[in-house]
Amino acid sequence: MSTLTAAHGLSALAAAAPADRIPAPHIEYAQLAPTLIVVGAAVLGVLVEAFVPRRSRYHVQVFLAVAALAAAFAAVVGLAAGGYASDKARIAAMGAIAVDGPALFLQGTILLASVVAVLTFAERRLDPAAHGNRVDSFAAQAASVPGSESEKAAVKAGFTTTEVFPLALFAIAGMLVFPAANDLLTLFVALEVFSLPLYLLCAVARRQRLMSQEAAVKYFLLGAFSSAFLLFGIALLYGYAGSVSYAVIADVVDGTVQTVDPALADTMGNDALLLIGGALILTGLLFKVGAVPFHMWTPDVYQGAPTPVTGFMAAATKVAAFGALLRLLYVVLPGLRWDWRPVMWGVAIVTMLAGAVIAVTQTDVKRLLAYSSIAHAGFILAGVIATSAQGIQSVLFYLAAYSFVTIGAFAVVTLVRDAGGEATHLSKWAGLGRRSPLTAAVFAVFLLAFAGIPLTSGFAGKFAVFKAAAEGGAGALVVVGVISSAIAAFFYIRVIVLMFFSEPKADGPTVAVPSPLTMTTIAVGVAVTLVLGLAPQYFLDLAGQASTFVR
């Protein structure tokens, strides 16, 4: 009980008399090292913006970001090697953060995906140099009105938005906390910490600024809307359990704990609060993973955001959000599984089908990939619903496989360009295979992985997820999943056919030769796709070892 009362802000404030001394919280810095390193680097990045001369900022920021992510990954590996993923798994920071297998696996995935994504942020060879300065995908000065004199001046002066690196680091820090959050408030704070920088990042595209800004505003408005749902759900759950701690709520759901706080005696144990609160929190998380009907921001934002940001967001956000969803459903609400499972069934089915069906008529590569990501969210949900260790394992594996395919695919999209920047309209991709066979072949590999063709990571992931779902008694869901996969295969293969079997257009786009940065991203994407496709067992085992949540 003592840990419970001291656990967190709300209860502590309500219970403590003014005369009491608030005890200093006990923080296990070593176990939180991955997050702390990234946050520290982000703060340093802000200082770099303030104090380092403009000329060297780019190099300093890229180095800082990559070094911080690498160090954080090393910390994750160190923790996992130290047994925190298995027998030493525990809850740190006074009940706020879980250090366990799923958390470490997902944090590792997020960090690795972020490293390759940050490399595409740093790409400066795709666009021709403006006024002798190399330019990247981001606006010269985010605050200037598109097309205005101040923007022209900024371009001429060679300004670049190097703030994207600290922003990305803040977002990554939030994402690291999100799947590890072990109480509802930490969950909410992490959500905001990673969302706000993403809204900003979406707005700073160099080309098509208006579309980019529109996307950012939409994302922000809808994100705020969903946050409100989440927050309301948190309030209701607090009313139900008298605590925001996952463990306590779970105990109250199970009936192990009857009363926590006399002030809440009227509402505690009221199932309406629990069910409505749980559904509202689910809404918030389903928004982030892009499940239907909370998906509508996805195509617009994916299309409008600068493509490197889209890739980053599509991969890392999904990993973090699914991690949080898993923890919520497996740690907080397992006692409620007979209530939420049918609902999630419905969500998964609608998500798979809608994502696959609507993608069929898309004409823009980025929107196509957006709908594809919706369909994939549905597939992953099928694994989530399995409610078994295998389900967790398959979801972890799927997320790792999917994030590298996604970042790689969006990185390829940045290469295909014409006079107006990236040529994302599908008609322009016709005959790409004749003009640039290597680029088209690489993209084909990613598309085949999305489609789940054997020998790619997509197949291994999909197989694992469907197997877990079928064994968890969700056979019908698997059938719908396979049908959706068939529909989805149509539009993936259509792009391949378009690239390789259509006549190239006379005014077609050119494929830019990227710097080693983007090349590394794409190469890593292809390598992971093939390795996870050809020899998935080691990684499946790894995900299997990491599939136990601590309570």
Partner 1 sequence: MENLIALLIAAPLLGAAVLLCGGRRLDKAGHWLGTLFAAASFGIGVALFTDMLGRAADDRTLSQKLYTWIPVEGFQADVAFQLDQLSMTFVLLISGVGTLIHVYSIGYMEHDERRRRFFGYLNLFLAAMLLLVLADNYLLLYVGWEGVGLASYLLIGFWQHKSSAATAAKKAFLVNRVGDMGLSIAIMLLFTTFGTFAFGPVFASVGNATEGKLTAIALMLLLAACGKSAQVPLQSWLGDAMEGPTPVSALIHAATMVTAGVYLIVRSAAVFNGAPDAQLVVTVVGAVTLLFGAIVGCAKDDIKKALAGSTMSQIGYMILAAGLGPIGYVFAIMHLVTHGFFKAGLFLGAGSVMHGMNDEVDMRKYGALRKFMPVTFVTFGLGYLAIIGFPGLSGFFSKDMIIEAAFAKGGTQGWILGGVTLLGAGITAFYMTRVMLLTFFGEKRWQPDAAGHEPHPHESPKSMTVPMVILAFGSVFAGAFFEIGERFLKWLEPVTGYEHGNSPVSAMAVTASTMVVLVVGVGIAWSMYGRRPVPVLAPRGSLLTRAARRDLFQDDFNHVVLVRGGEHLTRSLVYVDHSLVDGVVNGTAASVGGLSGRLRKLQNGYARSYAVSMFGGTAILIAATLLMRAV
Tokens of 85: 């993923």
Separation between Cα atoms, residue 162 and residue 60, nearest integer Å: 10
**Least distance from partner 1 to the Cβ atom of residue 389, Å:** 24
**Least distance from partner 1 to the Cβ atom of residue 251, Å:** 19
255 interacts with partner 1 by CB under 8 A: no
**Least distance from partner 1 to the Cβ atom of residue 108, Å:** 32
Closest C-alpha to 63, from 126, 122, 141: 122
Q: Which residue stretch of 47-55, 158-166, 175-183, 216-224 sits at the interface with partner 1 (rule: CB under 8 A)?
A: 216-224
414 interacts with partner 1 by CB under 8 A: no
Instruction: Please identify, using beta-carbon distances, which residue of 303 and 436 lies nearer to partner 1.
Output: 303
Identify whether the C-beta of residue 350 lies closer than 8 Å to the C-beta of residue 293. yes
Q: Which residue stretch of 120-128, 357-365, 496-504, 530-538 sits at the interface with partner 1 (rule: CB under 8 A)?
A: 357-365
Q: For residue 331, give every residue at least 6 positions away whose Cβ sits within 8 Å of its Cβ, in sequence order, or none.
A: 182, 246, 247, 250, 549, 551
Residues 481-500: x where in contact with partner 1 by CB under 8 A, - otherwise, as a string: ------x--x----------
> For partner 1, which residue of 34, 299, 431, 458 counts as binding (CB under 8 A)?
299
| Ramachandran class of 548: left when φ > 0, alpha when ψ lies in -120 to 50, beta otherwise | beta
> For partner 1, which residue of 43, 60, 74, 217 counts as binding (CB under 8 A)?
217
Instruction: Please identify, using beta-carbon distances, which residue of 322 and 491 lies nearer to partner 1.
Output: 491
Residue 197, H or E segment: helix 184-202
Tokens of 265: 């005696």
At 430, give phi and psi (nearest 5°). Answer: -60, 130
- How many other C-beta atoms can be found within 10 angstroms of the C-beta atom of residue 337? 14
Instruction: Please identify, using beta-carbon distances, which residue of 227 and 520 lies nearer to partner 1.
Output: 227
Tokens of 406: 């996604």
Within 167-186, the residues that bind partner 1 by CB under 8 A are: none
476 interacts with partner 1 by CB under 8 A: no
Instruction: Please identify, using beta-carbon distances, which residue of 196 and 296 lies nearer to partner 1.
Output: 296
294 interacts with partner 1 by CB under 8 A: yes
> For partner 1, which residue of 296, 493, 511, 523 counts as binding (CB under 8 A)?
296
Instruction: Please identify, using beta-carbon distances, which residue of 93 and 286 lies nearer to partner 1.
Output: 286
282 interacts with partner 1 by CB under 8 A: yes
> For partner 1, which residue of 266, 338, 506, 537 counts as binding (CB under 8 A)?
338
Q: Which residue stretch of 15-23, 39-47, 221-229, 497-505 sits at the interface with partner 1 (rule: CB under 8 A)?
A: 221-229
446 interacts with partner 1 by CB under 8 A: no
Within 181-210, the residues that bind partner 1 by CB under 8 A are: none
C-alpha dihedral, 181 to 183 to 188 to 190, nearest 10°: -20
129 interacts with partner 1 by CB under 8 A: no
Angle CA 344–350–356, to nearest 5: 130
357 interacts with partner 1 by CB under 8 A: yes
Q: Which residue stretch of 12-20, 282-290, 404-412, 440-448 sits at the interface with partner 1 (rule: CB under 8 A)?
A: 282-290
Instruction: Please identify, using beta-carbon distances, which residue of 180 and 292 lies nearer to partner 1.
Output: 292
- How many other C-beta atoms can be found within 10 angstroms of the C-beta atom of residue 503? 9
Separation between Cα atoms, residue 253 and residue 83, nearest integer Å: 30
Q: What is the DSSP string of 198-228?
A: HHHHHT-BSSSHHHHHHHHHHHHHHHHHHHH
Instruction: Please identify, using beta-carbon distances, which residue of 28 and 192 lies nearer to partner 1.
Output: 192
49 interacts with partner 1 by CB under 8 A: no
Identify whether the C-beta of residue 129 lies closer than 8 Å to the C-beta of residue 120. no
Q: Is 468 helix (H, G, I), strand (E, B) or coil?
A: helix
251 interacts with partner 1 by CB under 8 A: no
Identify whether the C-beta of residue 102 lies closer than 8 Å to the C-beta of residue 323. yes
443 interacts with partner 1 by CB under 8 A: no
340 interacts with partner 1 by CB under 8 A: yes
Q: Is 142 helix (H, G, I), strand (E, B) or coil?
A: coil
Q: For residue 333, give every residue at least 6 positions away whose Cβ sits within 8 Å of its Cβ, in sequence order, or none.
A: 250, 253, 278, 340
229 interacts with partner 1 by CB under 8 A: yes
Tokens of 186: 């930490």
> For partner 1, which residue of 72, 359, 400, 444 counts as binding (CB under 8 A)?
359
144 interacts with partner 1 by CB under 8 A: no
| Ramachandran class of 423: left when φ > 0, alpha when ψ lies in -120 to 50, beta otherwise | beta
**Least distance from partner 1 to the Cβ atom of residue 390, Å:** 24
Identify whether the C-beta of residue 118 lies closer than 8 Å to the C-beta of residue 521. no
Identify whether the C-beta of residue 306 lies closer than 8 Å to the C-beta of residue 111. no
Helices 365-385 and 475-501: crossing angle in degrees, nearest 10, is 160
> For partner 1, which residue of 16, 145, 221, 263 counts as binding (CB under 8 A)?
221
How many chain residues touch partner 1 (CB under 8 A)?
40
Identify whether the C-beta of residue 511 lies closer than 8 Å to the C-beta of residue 435. yes
Identify whether the C-beta of residue 68 lies closer than 8 Å to the C-beta of residue 37. yes
> For partner 1, which residue of 193, 280, 442, 478 counts as binding (CB under 8 A)?
280
339 interacts with partner 1 by CB under 8 A: yes
Contacts to partner 1 by CB under 8 A: 217-218, 221-222, 225-226, 229, 271-272, 275-276, 278-280, 282-283, 287, 292-294, 296-297, 299-300, 338-340, 342-343, 346-347, 354, 357-362, 487, 490
